[in-house]
Structure formats: structure tokens, C-alpha cells
Structure 1
Amino acid sequence: MKTKKIFNNILFYSFISLFLKIDFRFENSVNCCGDDHDYYIHSETIALDRDLDYTNQLKGNEDKRFNVNGKIAPTGFIGTGILAAPFTFFGNLIDQILSDQMKNQQNY
């Protein structure tokens, strides 16, 4: 009886917590100058560019980020970008494969 009550409580709180989260599904892009943008830029430059040169990621926003002697970088920590880089790499790879398949299907 006690385990059933615990299970019901966990189920109830799990259901309620679904309504308390922040919903990012309606945001289509990662806009400049927030934490999410910084982490994505780290991930993108590691996985796709394979360098730590941020000049091509931060075009037009150089003065809003960390800028010393013409070297620009996001202000967010790089650790999250390192952890996200494999997912960015494989996600980009899958996107390229699927877009090539779509181009081939359109040629028929």
C-alpha cells in the first residue's frame, strides 16, 4: 500500500512538473548574446570549423562579446561547447546526408 502511494505521488509530481518547465520549442533560432548562443558558438567552432577562431561566428557582434586586441570570443565557458560538439557534428552530418537525399529525389 505504501509503495502504491509513493508511486502515485511520483506520478502526480511528474505530471505537474510538465507544466512548470520553460518551453523553448517556439524559438526557431539561437539569437546573439545569451548563454545559449555562447555555448552553441563554442560547439559550432569546435565541431564544424575545427578551430577556435570565432570571427566567422560572431560577425556583426564583435563589440557585444569578449574582445581583446581584435581577438573575439564568446563569454560563456567552453566546457559546455566541448560536451555538445559531438552532437553538433553528428547532427550536421545527418543534416547533410538528408539534404543530399532530398536533392537527389528532386532530380527525378
Structure 2
Amino acid sequence: MDYLELEERLDRIERLLVANKEVLTFEEACEYTGISRSYLYKLTAAREIPHSKPNGKMLFFEKAKLNIWLLQNRRKSKTEIEKEALEYTFKNRQV
């Protein structure tokens, strides 16, 4: 097994371990969300993303709250919009 293959396997193991955690460190939150360090700092400073600072210095993130935050402002698909339009049209014809 060469060095590159070993490094890839270790990366996979680390990702699996993070996937099982409920509370993430700042670095883990960056990795989990795909958000850059500087942007995540900006979001926490502006209090736009849920986080905790138990000792006044280190930042921690609940994975469940991060998921909710990441999935806010959902956009409907074209199919969903068309379905709603049809339902609305048929509902108004029956009246």
C-alpha cells in the first residue's frame, strides 16, 4: 500500500468519525459544511449561524442545528411549482 492510498483511507476514516459526532469543533464544522474558515468566522461573529462558546474562546456547533441552518430558504423544484399550480387551478374551477 503506497503513501497516497494510505492517506486517502485515513481521510475516509476521519470523515466517518466526524459523521458520528453530534457536536463539532470549528475545524470539523468547516469540513462538514464546506464553508471556509474566514466565512464561518464571519457568520459566527454576526450571529447568523447557531454555535456555542462554552469557555468564551473555542467554538462548537451542533450538527443537527447546522443541518437545519444549511437547509433553510429551500427553493421549490419546477415540478413542485407546476403541481401546485395545477392543484390551485383545479381547486378554483370546482367552486
TM bucket, shorter chain: 0.3 to 0.5
TM-score normalized with structure 2 length: 0.34
**TM-score between the two structures when normalised by the length of structure 1:** 0.31
